[in-house]
Amino acid sequence: MAEKEYRLGSHTVYDIKYHLVWVTKYRYKVLQGDLALRTRDVIRQACMAREIKILKGHVSRDHVHLFVSSPPGLSVSQIVQYVKGKSSYVLQQEFPELKRRYWGRHLWARGYFCASSGTVTDEMIKAYIEHQDAPRDDGFKVADEKL
């Protein structure tokens, strides 16, 4: 079994993961060839700039899947806004055919999908909270401890 990999911040220890998906505007299948490769590179650069670790990713012809580990200071909407905005801007600057197709300067459709991921289920959290005040017998006693 793999050991848990927690990430460290200056005052935090965290494991926050999101599955993100967004589509091209009008679901046009434009992410092919050099454009698809450049899309991957630009998304990697944008994530690195914000200390977002890409655990897995996939660029399809009309959508992008990302599985990322994010610092706690970034909300999901901030992550998606930054990555979509940066990639749209850079790609439209470098590929003039996108400017002709997307004359309104928007490569990506407005919305996105997000699901959080983790190793702890809702039931585990509820059980943990429920048993906070329960006495524990962990085999480590103190001589004057009252039972």
Residues with active-site annotation: 128
For residue 16, with 0-12 CB atoms within 10 Å meaning exposed, 13-18 middle and 19 or more buried, which class applies?
A: middle
Could you tell me the two tokens for 94? 């470098």
Give the separation between CA 111 and CA 109, rounded to whole angstroms. Answer: 6
Task: Extract the runs of DSSP E, i.e. beta strands, from 15-52.
Answer: 17-23
